[in-house]
Amino acid sequence: MPSFDIVNKIDTQTLDNAINSARKEIFGRFDFKGTKSEIDLNKKDLTLNILTEDEMRLQSIVDIIRNRMIKQQIDPRCIDEGKEHYASGNMVKKDLKIKQGIDKDTARKIQKDIKESKLKVQAQQMEDTIRVTAKKIDDLQEVISLVRKGNYELPIQFVNMK
């Protein structure tokens, strides 16, 4: 039976390249000359730690990171930009989490949309992926187009087409 997996995975090396190019751009910009701004990527936890002097620079750094991710063909929707940012002395610090995998609520929403389409396919959740199986490849292609049209606030990839 033909099948494929719906996943949300970020290549850590490509993400690291995007962060390094954002770091270069920040240190080369005139409005960041002489300021203390840092961007650290924790590859193990997939978190970005941004430290800078004020709110305006913090927002500029986040925008630069998003632009560099787009240029590296990483969907910027994978950034979980929590509202929390806190002062540490005269500096402003913010932690951004990189979302990887499909959470249970989004998986249920995807499965519900697939079920409501009345296609003859089975979708089952397996940890942080969704496996879709069908008798016909055409049905699977319709599911792919259906999921691409949906708004799930996650970058979604389709892998393991068998």
Mean pLDDT, all residues of the chain: 88
pLDDT recorded at residue 53: 86
Assign 100 to helix, strand or coil. Answer: coil
pTM: 0.82
Which residue segments constitute the domains of the chain, with CATH numbers given? 3-8+101-159 (3.30.70.860), 12-98 (3.30.70.990)
pLDDT tens profile 20-37: 999 999 988 888 888 888
Tell me the mean pLDDT in the region 80-102.
82
d(CA 25, CA 3): 43
Place of tokens 């940890």: 127
Tell me the mean pLDDT in the region 110-122.
89
pLDDT recorded at residue 84: 65
Contact present, 4 and 140 (Cβ < 8 Å): yes
Could you tell me how many residues make up the chain?
162
* pLDDT score of 82 more than 80: no
